[in-house]
Amino acid sequence: MNLEHPEKSAELQPSNDGQTPKANRRKLIQTGLAGAPLLMALKSVPALAAECKQPSGFSASGNLSQNGTAPCAPKMNGVTFWQAYAAANPPTVDDLDNKTFGSVFTASAGRTETIRAIITGTDTAGDAPLERQIVAAWLSAKAGSPLFTAAQAIAMWNEGVVGGSWHPNPSVPSVSWDKPQVKQYLDYVLNA
């Protein structure tokens, strides 16, 4: 600012291109508006797209990744589905009958009940309901559910339920789940 001649500093100064500042502003606004349709056409896509129930996107606080109005991946087959499957299929050499709970979920290595016995059990004491849920999640993952892998289901049990600290997203080691959080997640992703 020119302190000797304040009236001159308040005057409009010519621009380099010969246009007045008002014309420059108008041109800037028009240019910006010309690009508005392009900006409006861009759409934010959540990191998890339609599979907003993956462990890395699940939050116990309810803050879930959503894909606008598109539905999330369908829930996984739950305990009821696998109980009906076991009832409709006699014992065979599949995973229901040739694997024990302890051989799959190694943190519970002393458990000798078959997967069929766990899923069809009616015991409600202790962790029995959660054991049925984790078995249903594991079976659904093995059957091809897009939400998580069988290895992740095993890690949820071994590290989260038994170990007390499972990291659903390895790139964010500060986030870990314990037994109640694993239960809450399974309640969310499994059909009854």
User: In the structure, what pLDDT confidence band is assigned to residue 77 with cuts at 50, 70 and 90?
Assistant: very high
Average pLDDT over residues 151-175: 93
pLDDT of 47 reads 40
Q: Is residue 6's pLDDT more than 70? A: no
Give exposure, 66-93, as e/b (b: 16+ Cβ within 10 Å). Answer: ebeeeebbeebbbbebbbebbeeeeeee
pLDDT value for 17 = 58
- Evaluate if residue 15 carries a pLDDT over 60: no
Burial class (CB in 10 A: 0-12, 13-18, 19+), 147: buried
pLDDT over 60 (residue 2): no
pTM: 0.66
133-150 pLDDT tens trace: 999 999 999 999 888 899
Tokens standing for residue 32: 């910006």
Residue 62 binned pLDDT confidence (cut-offs 50, 70, 90)? very low
Mean pLDDT of 13-21: 60
pLDDT band of residue 127 (cuts 50, 70, 90) is: confident
Name the percent of the chain lying above pLDDT 70.
62
Distances (CA, A) of 191 to 13, 116, 162: 71, 18, 23
- Report how far residue 147's alpha carbon sits from residue 128's, in angstroms, rounded to the nearest whole number: 23
Q: Tokens 């001649």, residue?
A: 5
| Mean pLDDT, range 44-70, rounded to an integer | 47
